[in-house]
Amino acid sequence: MLTRIDHIGIACHDLDATVEFYRATYGFEVFHTEVNEEQGVREAMLRINGTSDGGASYLQLLEPVREDSTVAKWLAKNGEGVHHIAFGTADVDADSEEIRDKGVRVLYDEPRRGSMGSRITFLHPKDCHGVLTELVTSAPVESPEH
């Protein structure tokens, strides 16, 4: 089932300024950046540490690239801050089905492409005590891509 905290997603208005804050304040460096057109975000993954299952833990900083994106709508309502928590799993398909069978709404019928080639799905926050929860099966990590 779930093996680790994969990342904590933080919504922000200015990705570059937020990256600089985490770099200057905590010494975290950018491991990966990308634009996810499907989700309408520009993101930076700041690697915190590696884990024994070959994954890692990250902070994921998310800046919307269009006003109709989920993150843009969330920012308009809530302002900057923690957007979601993501748990790592070896099999997002099996684990999301098992969780669905327990009565938790899974937001995607089939997992989608996430950061760094991962496969993801989300669980409805109303079924998770107010926390938007993501399940992630990481792609093999070889080296940083910028």
Please give the positions annotated as active site.
Answer: 7, 43, 60, 84, 134
Rounded Cα gap, residues 146 and 34, in angstroms = 8
Dihedral angle over CA of 120, 123, 124, 126, nearest 10:
-150
Residue 119 forms beta bridges with which residues? 113, 137
Per the structure block, which two tokens stand in for 114? 């996430």
Alpha-carbon distance of 72 to 47, in angstroms, equals 24
Q: In this structure, what token pair is assigned to residue 119?
A: 């496969």
Alpha-carbon distance of 73 to 46, in angstroms, equals: 23
Tokens standing for 19? Answer: 């990256």
